Amino acid sequence: MRDRLILLPGWGLGVSPLEPLAAALRGLNAHLQVQVEPLPTLTSSNLDEWLDELDATLPDNAWLGGWSLGGMLASELAARRGERCCGVLTLASNPCFVAHDGWPHGMPAETFDAFLAGCHADSQVTLKRFGLLCAKGSADPRGLSRLLVSGAPHTAPGVLMPGLELLAQMDTRAALQGFGGPQLHLFAGLDGLVPAEAAGDLLALLPDVEIGLIEQAGHAFLLEDPHGVAGAIQAFLHGCVDD
């Protein structure tokens, strides 16, 4: 199924931010089947349980991709599937979302902890704050944040919290190093959630994969410029097929 691409969304905002990108990809390649799949609705933050759910739900032998948390999960699932995955692509996905000694360019741990506490206290207020951070660096931050939050599903705090906890603990470096298929990782220069420097760190870790930095864009660059992002993805997929 080298003509099937599965895209997974980020935390909390549902599938809506990925729909314009999926439509743009279909417009570029009528033969490409693009599926936007929601994240599992689990009350556990155990990574293996999330991967078990995705592995059982998503078709085999497809390209796996995703935005932010979705890209991190796509990376882990690609590594698990190995040759049963055509390749992996991530959009604004940091291998480690939260910074630590071994990966300095992530969200500061104290900032994330405050975010986690805020979600526990009032998940809807936290989701609005998250929308603003996603839209930071865009041409119209307030308009984009409203668009992101208005399209978000009404998810119970008991499902939102495990996703945040999963973000805090995930480290996809070993998965990406262990996956032998083609990879594309796109970052944004003005991202308010994933520091742009993470692109350079990942390139140092994986010098043989494609890594791009869209300088004048924020975390939600896939919604700001779906046609531009679709063009980059289509060029990557086309190059892999030619190889």
Say if residue 43 is exposed, middle or buried (CB neighbours under 10 Å; 0-12, 13-18, 19+): exposed
State yes or no: is 120 an active-site residue.
no
85 Cβ contact partners less than 8 Å away, ≥ 6 residues apart: 61, 62, 63, 64, 77, 78, 179, 181
Q: Which of 93, 201, 219, 225 is catalytic?
A: 219
* CA-wise closest residue to 45 among 103, 104, 97, 121: 97
| Partners of 65 in the β-ladder | 7, 89
Map residue 89 onto helix, strand or coil.
strand
State yes or no: is 219 an active-site residue.
yes
- Rounded to 10°, the helix 123-135/141-150 angle is 140
Amino acid symbol at 185: H
State yes or no: is 45 an active-site residue.
no
> Tokens 């692109």 identify what position?
199
| CA dist., res. 135 & res. 218, Å (int) | 6
Q: Which of 123, 191, 201, 225 is catalytic?
A: 191
| CA dist., res. 74 & res. 90, Å (int) | 8
Amino acid symbol at 182: P
Q: Which of 68, 93, 123, 145 is catalytic?
A: 68
| CA dist., res. 106 & res. 97, Å (int) | 5
Residue 104 half-sphere exposure toward CB, CA atoms < 13 A: 3
Which residues are known to be catalytic? 68, 191, 219
